[in-house]
Amino acid sequence: MAFDKIDITFKEKLILESNDQLDKCEIAYETYGKLNKNKSNVILVCHALTGDQFCSGVHPSTNKKGWWDILVGPGKVIDTNFFFVICSNVIGGCQGSTGPSSINPKNGKQYNLDFPVITIKDMVEAQVRLIDALGIEKLFAVIGGSMGGMQALVWGALFKNRVNAIVPIATSYRHSAQNIAFHEIGRQSIMADPNWNKGLYNEFNVKPSRGLAVARMIAHITYLSEYGLQKKFGRNLQFSSSLSYRFDIDFQIESYLKYQGRTFVDRFDANSYLYITKAMDYFDLSNRRGGLSNLFKNNDATFCFFSFTSDWLFPTAETKTIIKSLNSSAASVSFVEIKTDNGHDSFLLKEPEFHKILKGFLSGLTKKLGL
Amino acid sequence: MAFDKIDITFKEKLILESNDQLDKCEIAYETYGKLNKNKSNVILVCHALTGDQFCSGVHPSTNKKGWWDILVGPGKVIDTNFFFVICSNVIGGCQGSTGPSSINPKNGKQYNLDFPVITIKDMVEAQVRLIDALGIEKLFAVIGGSMGGMQALVWGALFKNRVNAIVPIATSYRHSAQNIAFHEIGRQSIMADPNWNKGLYNEFNVKPSRGLAVARMIAHITYLSEYGLQKKFGRNLQFSSSLSYRFDIDFQIESYLKYQGRTFVDRFDANSYLYITKAMDYFDLSNRRGGLSNLFKNNDATFCFFSFTSDWLFPTAETKTIIKSLNSSAASVSFVEIKTDNGHDSFLLKEPEFHKILKGFLSGLTKKLGL
């Protein structure tokens, strides 16, 4: 059985954690593979801050490979010859799901900053609606890295009866002070751009591109490791063999970062960046239902965590904290730390050990569940 | 013997590493304590990126304590009852020494971006001139943290006959790719501020305050440690017991950072920030005179390095690299790593072990040199 891929519009209002609501909610999603007869082969893949629903194949806007094409596809780790993969754009996003650039049904104008502040749980509530609409009762697994891992954890904690396995990668049960700090500076940078116009830039036909580029550059450093940067770029010069003694580009690392900033603004909406970073900053599972130790009681899902040694945005210590809670609730939990220099971005890159273990986990679970 | 403290203006041109020159060069400096008869008790204290000549006592502009008042003063670690301390504002700075906001003698207007790009060695050349003018042949020690440590290293490498001891603290022999990256983003943020006006903001009577504030906030995170931030701020809310679901301040860390940005723009010049960060980015002792291993040959100075365990801007590994070179040149070198959560900023803070060891080092050397 295959779905015709049509983005779904829900007309029942979605109540948000802020107590605000979205009267109409559109979810843009992609599917890969074929749903089996008893709908038991579904993997929900959750994207990170700047990702989208195009996790496999070629992205229709950028013409580049989808952000997880390395993992998702026929014969790959998340094998779409066997699994039916769903990936949806988070609400608050800018690739078709309802977000700040969507039309507010109340006044027929773009929401902009009238869009309500959303949370990771709100994003997941929208996903649950999508899964319901597709008639799927129980997911085989929810898998995601970084903010995608936060969504996976919410599925595991709050929708545990709807999912067999949770695979949180390079993530945490809460955003740290340092991570909030980096995000806040990114937001300040966007809001300091005069083109931002208090979020109304679309009405003025401009974009706060310089502010958004700086925000992206800040974030980008945190996705890499100090060692990785040094190894890849070191103090290599971009154009000549000597320093320019000007404020142009001297070093390759400067050129690389500027490129990252420049290309990002073409594909991402500044207000969405504000909303999604805020949702991540608000994320803290430990303040729900009496804390982490209670949150995962009586949980039948199987958890498999991955962290990366050089990831300083979501260091292994964060994963260990939640592992403790899961273990103290006798949950079925395993944890792998992958040795790598690729920093936080490791979850997106060619990491053979990570890929091999994830493939093994999915295959083992397939047998265990008698698929 | 005491000097009347008068900032010095040199009319002989200062040739810079860029081959450009400063026709006139003013150096603003402060002294603390009394010069002894044979001028053998002089310690040159070098300031970091946003520091200045007011290392001890009360700062005349901010009315706050000088940046190293904790260490420099009567009876303190750098005891001005015994030592004569000199601290000068670096060229490129904004506290009286010649910098981008100084008047260009060629046209009677502010330099702004016509000011030549300077290097750490250029800063030291200006200090050498000051020391010459004060009639001091040999310094007892040059001491500095962060960029101040870079200056100390240049003294040790290129002016080794003018100094007995070098104390580089929380520093490196070269700026890393990651550090260049953070600086470049700070510069981009300043230059993206429409008030910057290609560096001519003074002519328009405006300041690129928002861009400079963002630059400072970025840098400020790198001065602290992830653990320290978590311990001090965690996810504590600033105003209320619940999230605001708005883009105002929610977390204490956000409020703290904004405060850091806001107060910084009152005391620092945006163009100076561009020039001084560039000087730090250009710093690489390993590309001089056949590299580190040759640079410290036949060096009679005594080196004492300090690093801090949680300093991720200048990690201990960087210090270890230069220590190897010094040891392979049979230099007199010692090295202490201080265990602390205070990150890079440790060199400015109450760190009893650091202070005790530095006091011991200075006192031991005093005896050794027969002072």
Whether residue B89 sits in one domain with residue B25: yes
Flag whether B189 is in a domain. Answer: yes
Interatomic CA distance for residues B289 and A347, integer angstroms: 42
Task: Estimate to the nearest angstrom the gap between the alpha carbon of A221 and the chain centroid.
Answer: 17
Buried b (16+ CB within 10 A) or exposed e, A84-98: bbbbbbbbbbbbbbb
pLDDT tens per residue, range B57-111: 999 988 999 999 999 999 999 999 999 999 999 999 999 999 999 999 999 999 9
Q: Is A254 within 8 Å of B184 when comparing Cβ atoms?
A: yes
Q: What is the secondary structure of A310-331 as a DSSP string? A: T-SSS-HHHHHHHHHHHHHTT-
Whether residue A232 sits in one domain with residue A144: no
- In this prediction, residue B2 carries a pLDDT of 38
CA dihedral for A226, A228, A231, A234, sign (positive or negative) = negative
Question: Please, which residues 205-224 of chain B have a Cβ atom closer than 8 Å to chain A?
Answer: 210-211, 213-214, 217-218, 221, 224
Whether residue A43 sits in one domain with residue A108: yes
Flag whether B1 is in a domain. Answer: no
Please tell me chain A's helix, strand, coil percentages from 3-state DSSP, rounded to the nearest 5. 40, 20, 40
Strand ranges in chain B using DSSP code E only, listed in sequence order: 8-10, 14-15, 21-22, 25-27, 29-32, 42-46, 72-73, 78-79, 84-88, 103-104, 109-110, 139-145, 163-169, 302-308, 332-338
Whether residue B115 sits in one domain with residue B220: no
Whether residue A69 sits in one domain with residue A46: yes
Q: What is the CATH number of the domain that holds B262?
A: 1.10.1740.110
Checking if the pLDDT of A4 tops 90, the result is no
- In this prediction, residue A11 carries a pLDDT of 83
> Of B241, B259, B279, at which residue does a domain stop?
B279
Whether A59 is a known active-site residue: answer no
Flag whether B2 is in a domain. Answer: no
Report the candidate in B94, B110, B147 with the shortest Cα–Cα distance to residue B266.
B94
Q: What is the CATH number of the domain that holds B140?
A: 3.40.50.1820
Interatomic CA distance for residues A152 and A123, integer angstroms: 11
pLDDT tens per residue, range B142-161: 999 999 999 999 999 999 99
* Structural domains of chain A, count: 2
Residue A359 contacts B, CB cutoff 8 Å:
no
Flag whether B271 is in a domain. Answer: yes
Contact between residue B273 and residue B215 where contact means Cβ atoms under 8 Å apart? yes
Mean of all residue pLDDT scores within chain A: 95
Task: Print the SS3 string covering B81-126.
Answer: CCCEEEEECCCCCCCCCCCCCCEECCCCEECHHHCCCCCHHHHHHH
- In this prediction, residue B3 carries a pLDDT of 46
- In this prediction, residue A192 carries a pLDDT of 94
Checking if the pLDDT of A2 tops 60, the result is no
Question: Please, which residues 314-353 of chain A have a Cβ atom closer than 8 Å to chain B?
Answer: 315
Interatomic CA distance for residues A205 and A23, integer angstroms: 27
- B-chain CB neighbours of A312 within 8 Å are 226, 312
pLDDT tens per residue, range B236-279: 999 888 899 999 899 999 999 999 999 999 999 999 999 999 99
> Of B279, B302, B333, at which residue does a domain stop?
B279
Q: Furthest-apart CA pair in chain A: how many Å?
A: 67
- In this prediction, residue A288 carries a pLDDT of 83
Checking if the pLDDT of B118 tops 90, the result is yes
Flag whether A13 is in a domain. Answer: yes
pLDDT tens per residue, range B291-340: 888 889 899 999 999 999 999 999 999 999 999 989 988 889 999 999 99
Residue A216: give the domain boundaries: 178-279
Flag whether A63 is in a domain. Answer: yes
Whether residue A295 sits in one domain with residue A223: no
Lowest mean pLDDT among A178-182, A292-296, B64-68: A292-296
Q: How confident is the model at residue B9 (pLDDT cuts 50, 70, 90)?
A: confident
Checking if the pLDDT of B4 tops 60, the result is no
Flag whether A263 is in a domain. Answer: yes
Interatomic CA distance for residues B320 and B297, integer angstroms: 17
| DSSP 3-state of A177 | helix
Interatomic CA distance for residues B12 and B29, integer angstroms: 19
Whether residue A159 sits in one domain with residue A129: yes
Q: How confident is the model at residue A229 (pLDDT cuts 50, 70, 90)?
A: very high
Report yes or no on whether pTM surpasses 0.80: yes
Interatomic CA distance for residues A59 and A66, integer angstroms: 5
pLDDT tens per residue, range B182-223: 999 999 999 999 999 999 999 999 999 999 999 999 999 999
Residue B198 contacts A, CB cutoff 8 Å:
no
Question: Please, which residues 46-85 of chain A have a Cβ atom closer than 8 Å to chain B?
Answer: none
> Of A251, A279, A307, at which residue does a domain stop?
A279
With 0-12 CB in 10 A as exposed, 13-18 as middle and 19+ as buried, what is B286?
middle
- Which value does ipTM take for this structure? 0.92
Whether residue A357 sits in one domain with residue A266: no
Which of A117, A188, A230 has its CB closest to that of B217? A188
- Which structure tokens are listed for B165? 């001891």
Whether residue A235 sits in one domain with residue A158: no
- Which structure tokens are listed for B25? 């060069």
Checking if the pLDDT of A98 tops 90, the result is yes
Contact between residue B38 and residue B63 where contact means Cβ atoms under 8 Å apart? no
Whether residue B275 sits in one domain with residue B171: no
Checking if the pLDDT of B21 tops 50, the result is yes
Whether residue B16 sits in one domain with residue B35: yes
Flag whether B157 is in a domain. Answer: yes
Whether residue B363 sits in one domain with residue B321: yes
